Structure 1
Amino acid sequence: MLGAMAAALLAAALAGACGSGRSSSPAGSPTTAASADPAGLAWPAPPPDRVIELAKAAGLVPETHESLEHHVHAHLDVYIDGQRRTVPAGIGIVITDPAVHRGVALGQPAYGGITECAQPCISPLHTHDVTGILHTESATFVDNTLGQFFKEWDVKLGPDCVGQYCASQTPIAVYVNGGKVALTDAPGVPLTDQEEIAVVVGRPPAHVPTHV
């Protein structure tokens, strides 16, 4: 379902894009990926001139185009004091490169449809839009991790903190498909296809998503 949603959104936005705390939550509570979040960004995307540096720091190999040999979609929700916050578009993409096309999805800028950059301009782990879909588009069949994504987002994840929030001052919980994961283990969570991840800071939402 998530792959179809991503394809539909990006087809509308970009020609050829994407290849041209509580410890329990109610079962059957899906994420609402296809909506903009009025509460704003969880954390801003890094500036374009840091994208390649951060991708390399995360152990990722930037490329000049999107490779689809290994193509999966995980989904990330971030909640801060009960409000869902937006995961920015363009994480892992040098959005100022002339080969990166710009469109609109959910009323916000979206990036993709990369022809061929003159130099590396895209990480194999990235976001095209604000849906919270984490795209792995790689030439190698290796699952990336949540820690790698947060590293290239330039946001701290674990062992005790998420961004500027630390467990000594506010509750922090991480869920994978509805199951709680220790914050110390969160960076190692593999980003597999159709996986739903929720990072919850402070007051939890009424329902934590359990599936996409």
Structure 2
Amino acid sequence: MSTVRHSPQFDCLEGRTLLSASKVSRSFLLTPIAANAPLAEHIHPHLSIVIKGQEQTIPANIGIVPTGALPIHTHSPDGTIHVESPQQMPFKLRDFFTIWGQPFSKKTILGHAAGRGEKITMAVDGRPSKLFGNLLLQDGQHIVIRLGR
């Protein structure tokens, strides 16, 4: 794990603990994409998180920094994840949580651990998935993560 160090362009991320990314380098994940850069990857998966029956808001502007947008970001609080990159790369769900600065595993989500008799489950396009952070993000995916009984 590492913590984002002070840098004017990353003040909004300072102090966040970053979990190790997949095969996408941490430095690439934290580099804003030039507004006029041609995109080799441009996809929009959708994420819903439900904790003990309560739908959680995926905030707007995750991955939006003063100098632009990181390769994985949100614009609105509707759960749409924007993956926009000048290079085609294997972006995974853990990469989004890394940028967001939130924990995610089969035992923890958004700082909530599965308690006695509870579990974290994930479904992708309505089918159960055990990939969790290793899920490869794809266009049009509907990802639902639940913590509960």
The alignment-based identity, stated in percent, is 30
- State yes or no: 1:74 paired with 2:45: yes
> Do 1:52 and 1:123's aligned partners in 2 also have CA atoms closer than 8 Å?
no
- State yes or no: 1:186 paired with 2:148: no
- Pick closer, same or farther for the CA change 1:123–1:56 going to 2, 3 Å: farther
Q: Secondary structure at the match of 1:151?
A: helix
1:76 alignment partner AA: L
Choose from 59, 63, 72 the match for 2:32.
Answer: 63
1:91 alignment partner AA: I
Per-residue CA distance 1:109-166 (angstroms, 9 max, x = gap): xxxxxxxx4xxx4210000111111001100111311111111111111142113222
When normalised by structure 1's length, the TM-score is 0.54
Aligned partner of 1:19 in structure 2 is: none
Per-residue CA distance 1:157-193 (angstroms, 9 max, x = gap): 11421132223433211111111122xx301101100
Structure holding more strand per residue: 2
Q: Secondary structure at the match of 2:81?
A: strand
Aligned partner of 1:34 in structure 2 is: none
Computed over aligned residues only, the root mean square deviation of the Cα atoms, in angstroms, reads 2.4
Aligned partner of 1:202 in structure 2 is: 148
Q: Which runs of 5+ in 2 are unaligned?
A: 1-9
- Pick closer, same or farther for the CA change 1:153–1:160 going to 2, 3 Å: same
- State yes or no: 1:175 paired with 2:137: no
Aligned partner of 1:51 in structure 2 is: 13
Q: Which runs of 5+ in 1 are unaligned?
A: 1-47, 98-116, 204-212
Relative contact order, CA 8 A, sep 6+: which one is greater? 1
1:136 alignment partner AA: V
2:31 alignment partner AA: P
Aligned partner of 1:90 in structure 2 is: 61
Per-residue deviation at 1:92?
0.6
Aligned partner of 1:5 in structure 2 is: none
Aligned length: 130
Greater Rg over alpha carbons, structure: 1
